[in-house]
Amino acid sequence: MNDVFLSDPKWKHDNNQFRPGFYNLCEKKILLAFAGTNLRASSHIESKIKLWRKQYSTLYDMVNASGFGWDDCEKMVLVDSDDVWSNHVKKVPDEKGMRNKPFPYYEVWLILFGKDRVTGELAEGPAESVTAMENEETTKEKGDESPVEQF
């Protein structure tokens, strides 16, 4: 598979999920490149892309957090100090194996999944989403307090 195929926007829905036929096209391209392989769109390719998406998301969050960076030569996450790492692992224990581990496909994942991450001043993280939903519920409980007089 080449980068042109992966970055073609026609294969992504607005919600950043792949359109029907994407995995089958991946399967065909793999079968052409590796004759005799038994890899199939379902479940081999789908499960691998699901794992890659999760790893990309984790790496993206880590690289964009304070105290972390990315080493283009070694293709791994940089950490400012052991304290930064131990504090991070206390919050997210599942990521303890990611230090000093190379991720050679990160640049390809940026092409594949790059638009899956919401960024910018209007971006809302999980904590902000919960707060917004709670505020919405509180507003509904109070009722419609419109300043317009009701007749």
Predicted confidence (pLDDT) per residue in 79-131, tens digit: 999 999 999 999 999 898 999 999 999 988 887 787 655 444 444 444 444 45
The neighbour count for residue 49, using CB atoms within 10 Å, is 18
Q: What is the CA radius of gyration of the chain?
A: 21
pTM: 0.59
Question: What is the rounded distance in angstroms from the CA atom of residue 1 to the CA atom of residue 110?
Answer: 15
Query: Identity (one letter) of the amino acid at 85?
Result: W
